[in-house]
Amino acid sequence: MKLAITIIQLISCLVLVVVVLMQSGKRSGLSGAIAGAADTFLVKNKARTVDAKLAKATKWVALVFVVLTLALNIV
């Protein structure tokens, strides 16, 4: 049981690292200063972007990682 939880935790750790590294930085060059009016359209569809999906995935994988860490501590 402990070995299975450890393997799942290792996989979730690797997935968490990959998901975090795939996200773009909050400051992506001059695009924020140049965007102007196009920014209003992009803000409306922010929840559908790849970065938003990656941010949601980061939260869920981190939650799984924490739960597995607590489970390993209890076992």
Whether residue 5 lies inside any domain: the answer is yes
Residue 28 pLDDT? 57
Instruction: Enter the tokens of residue 68.
Output: 């597995």
Whether residue 38 lies inside any domain: the answer is no
Whether residue 37 lies inside any domain: the answer is no
| Domain total of the chain | 1
Residue 24 or residue 69, greater confidence: 69
Whether residue 71 lies inside any domain: the answer is yes
Whether residue 31 lies inside any domain: the answer is no
52 band by pLDDT with thresholds 50, 70 and 90: confident
| 3 touches 62 (CB < 8 A) | no
Statement: residue 17 has pLDDT above 90 = yes
Whether residue 32 lies inside any domain: the answer is no
Whether residue 10 lies inside any domain: the answer is yes
Gap between the Cα atoms of 35 and 43, Å rounded: 11
Statement: residue 59 has pLDDT above 90 = yes
Instruction: Enter the tokens of residue 1.
Output: 């049981």
Whether residue 50 lies inside any domain: the answer is yes
Interval 61-74: pLDDT, tens: 999 999 999 999 99
